[in-house]
Amino acid sequence: MTGPDRPTVKILVWDLDDTLWDGTVLEGDDPAPFPAATAALRALDERGVLHAVASRSDPAIAAAHLERLGLHELFTVLEIGWGPKSGAVRRIAEAIGIGLDTVAFVDNDPVERAEVAAAHPVVRCYPAEEVAALAERPEFRPEFVTADARLRRLRYRGEARRGQAREEHQGTPEEFLASLGLELTIRQAEPDDLARAHELTVRTHQLNTTGRTYGLAELRALCDSPDHRVLVAELTDRFGEYGTIGLALSERTRHREGDGPDGPAEVLRLLLLSCRVMSRGIGPALIGHVVRAALAEGRRPLAEFVPTDVNRVMLVNLRFAGFTVVGQEEGGRLLLGYPAAAPPPPAPGHLRLLTPGPGATPGPRDPRTMP
């Protein structure tokens, strides 16, 4: 089952011995991968489903065997050792920055599957004999496969390089962020952006102000509407492109909330960000741009927030950016207003903000062509 209560799988965590390959490397075998396993690896990778390893073995020996098989590059995180696999699964989700409800686990051993399922009931667990059919299951079939999806693994591996650079950096976190050369492009969504925008609404739960999803037809109608503004955000740094990492959807409204003595309003109906940019200061930058755009048109900035089990951090982002609660409805829905003057753009030392007009931004480059 998929949908708002059962999201599409974002990462499949693999056992190795007798699951990915036929044998046990520590027993002196030179096991070949199961053809069905390699087919599933590549098919899901093309759809943007990430792969990771949670396996009991010697880390160096198992990783070396993955290299010999030419499969190492397909895995984003390796958790190989002797501890409980539930701990490995949790660390993988934390490393990627996703919820456990978007994680799946495959293992030939029913005891290992039961241990993971007991510790993390939302993780979907599958026996190794079902590997051949995984690519056909609905939870592994996103509605659209975008260019961003096909490059997702490469972008997460770029994030691993950023993490290594962060560990090696001698200085403060602020100095490290400044060293990245971050460039944030915020622009009006165009037809080629809509599949990715839809994908973001379906995949992004934690950094999402309302939890709403939008289909392609809805997004196309909103882009064409003079009463709405649909913005996409793209990020690059010295390690390459992150792709489209943010979406802001606002409504220019009269005769609804915001009307009256304060004049017309622009209500931020949805703001979401990829979990990969949580620590980059992108939320305040995107919110600030939306506020400045509304004020430039003589509209009072408002923002809608609908609490879920996981999105409180977005309320913190709105409050930190200057919004305050001006109303609350049944179900916890909040309306926030922005009473202060327009916020300044981000300081160039941390983040360079680009706001080209429609049609002025080239499509994303393939990170495989980057240094």
pLDDT at 358: 54
Q: Amino acid identity, residue 76?
A: T
| Same-domain status, 324 and 217 | yes
Amino acid 290: pLDDT: 94
Taking the C-alpha atoms of residue 171 and residue 163, their distance in angstroms, rounded to an integer, is 14
pTM score: 0.65
CATH number of the domain where residue 309 is located: 3.40.630.30
Q: Looking at residue 257, what is its pLDDT?
A: 52
Residue 291, classed as helix, strand or coil, is helix
In a domain, 1, yes or no: no
Based on the structure, what is the number of domains in the chain? 2
Per-block mean pLDDT, blocks of 10 residues, the chain (371 long)? 65 97 87 96 92 96 95 93 96 89 96 98 97 95 74 76 86 88 94 87 84 91 95 91 91 63 84 85 91 92 92 91 90 88 79 74 37 29
In Å, how far are 39, 167, 252 from 342, measured between CA atoms?
Answer: 53, 36, 18
Residues 128 and 223 in one domain: no
Q: Does 114 share its domain with 157?
A: no
Same domain, 126 and 193: no
Residue 297 included in any domain: yes
Last residue of a domain, one of 107, 122, 140: 140
My answer on whether 253 and 106 are in the same domain is: no
Residue 215 CB: number of other CB atoms within 10 A? 13
118, two tokens: 């007991």
Structural domain boundaries, residue 134: 11-140
Q: Which two tokens stand for residue 112?
A: 């290992």
Residue 70 shares a structural domain with residue 163: no
